[in-house]
Amino acid sequence: MSDLSGSLGRLGFLPRGWRYRIVSAALGRQSRYFRTHGFRIVDIEPGRVSILAGNRRHLRNRAGGIHSMAASLAGEYAAALVVAQHLARGAKLVVKAVQADFRKPLRGDIHAHASIDATQIVAVSGSTEGRARIAMRVVDASGTVPIRGHVDVVWRSSSRADGLL
């Protein structure tokens, strides 16, 4: 999603739910895993993103809850999107590492949340390349936080993106 904030700005005349549906569909066209897992963006604000993963049959483990790796993938997407909304147009973003602590089984639908503070927003938006560690957490239907962790992302402007990996 190059120029995520610009896309959200152009869709500003639509109701919030429609905007998020359109952005979720666009992201689903670019990312197979976002689409096949049935993730939906439910909130994008400057410095904050929330993604919903419904308790669908294809995401469940043998215990009947959402598989922990599917939930951590939702957290990875949330962390990448929270950074992507502040990047310069054309910059390339790559997730380098995901660290997730699984504390207990998941119950029902989950919401993956990622956020950055004002100093991180300034650092991301003001540089053509960089690295950031973004905190993420997954909240299940019971309101508990069974997964906490962080995602390490790197980015470069499009002119220097060839050596990103």
Which two three-digit tokens encode residue 41?
Answer: 């963006």
Say if CB 153 and CB 79 are below 8 A apart: yes
Domain count, the chain: 1
pLDDT in tens, 42-89: 988 888 999 999 888 888 888 878 888 889 999 999 999 999 888 888
Query: Which CATH number is 47's domain given?
Result: 3.10.129.10
Domain span holding position 53? 4-163
pLDDT at position 163 over 60: no
Q: What is the mean pLDDT of the chain?
A: 85
Distance CA 3, CA 53 (A): 24
Which three-class secondary structure state does DSSP give residue 63?
coil
pTM recorded for the entire structure? 0.85
Q: Between these two residues, 90 and 4, which has the higher pLDDT value?
A: 90
CB atoms near residue 13 (< 10 Å): 8
Q: What pLDDT sits at residue 136?
A: 96
